[in-house]
Amino acid sequence: MTTNLPENKSPNDRIQNQRNCIYNLQRQGYKVDAEGTCFGIAHMGMQAFLADPTMNLFNLRLKCLQKSSQTFEEKMVGKRFRNEMMPFLDGIALYQKPEAFSELFAESSQTLSQDAQRVLPIVMPVKFDKDKTKQPTLIIKNYGAYTQSELANYLDLLKAHNPDKSFALILGGNQHCVNLNYRHDKGHWMLVNHDPAASFTDTTELSNHLVQCFAFSTQEEGVVLATHVYAHQEDKIAITQAFESLRKNHDWKQLHTPLNQLTNGLMWINKERSDTSERSSPTVFRH
């Protein structure tokens, strides 16, 4: 079962919502690019989930940001609304384009490209000041190429080997980035892809949606993804151990053995796209 699925909106509606987000940020003085804000929204989604797994406040704020410029600016006139929205807008813009905020970084850690680990301490929700064991922290990174069915299997393995903890994923590929959260107490996934979080219990449906998010075209049958796993600081040891155990799992090895991935039909990554000369600069997630 899936609730508030983004496909319920027309493509034109979704595109307009994305444009509204960008334009509203720019009108507030943020130097975000017209290409997109996916990296910023995804990472703010990760933070929001680990602060409050319902994501109600995050969803509300993102819906407001998607309003027409006139509606949004009328709301921003209100002092209370503005005070509540500014940290959210700051976070999106800072994750998306940290080079526009170089004064916030010490000279030794100044960044000219997207780097969530340098931004996270700056935009850490105030809620975590009282209990640092709950702070979001990067646990582990994983990389792989998946067909739609393999991606469903990948998500099922992550869920099955999870040590009864909720966790947040940042998935990146093809210059796009989304946030996918697993809520342990409810047993469902929550996807943030530009829009407010959509809930999934069926990983086949979810993986099909993810392939559509990341594929270069509708003809492609698979995706190459980087996965960054985040969780509460107090859960770092348990999740790290679970992940180390998972990497010894037969099905996991089958999914993440390069030779198997190539022979399973993922040669759609052609020479032109894999040309290292085109990938010499850091990937920037825009769309």
SS3 content of the chain, % helix, strand, coil (to 5): 55, 15, 30
Among 46, 3, 17, residue whose Cα is nearest residue 181: 46
Which pair of structure tokens corresponds to residue 29?
Answer: 């003085």
Torsion of CA 31, 35, 37, 42, to 10 degrees: -150
DSSP-derived secondary structure for 160-223: HT--S--EEEEEEETTEEEEEEEETTTTEEEEESSSSPEEES-HHHHHHHHHHHH-SSTT--EE
Predicted local distance difference test score (pLDDT) of residue 70: 93
Give the domain ranges of the chain. Answer: 7-129, 132-279
Name, in order, each residue with C-beta under 8 angstroms of 159's C-beta and a sequence gap of 6 or more.
Answer: 182, 203
Name, in order, each residue with C-beta under 8 angstroms of 206's C-beta and a sequence gap of 6 or more.
Answer: 2, 152, 155, 180, 189, 191, 200
pLDDT tens digit at each of 287 positions of the chain: 455 554 456 667 778 889 999 999 999 999 898 888 999 999 999 999 999 999 999 999 999 999 999 999 999 999 999 999 999 999 999 999 998 888 888 755 555 678 999 999 999 988 898 899 999 999 999 999 899 999 999 999 999 999 899 999 999 998 899 999 999 999 999 999 989 999 999 999 999 999 988 876 556 677 889 999 999 999 999 999 999 999 999 999 989 876 554 444 444 443 333 333 333 334 566 66
Cβ atoms of 20 and 217 closer than 8 Å: no
Could you tell me the pTM of the whole model? 0.87
What is the C-alpha to C-alpha distance for residues 212 and 207, in angstroms, rounded to an integer? Answer: 9
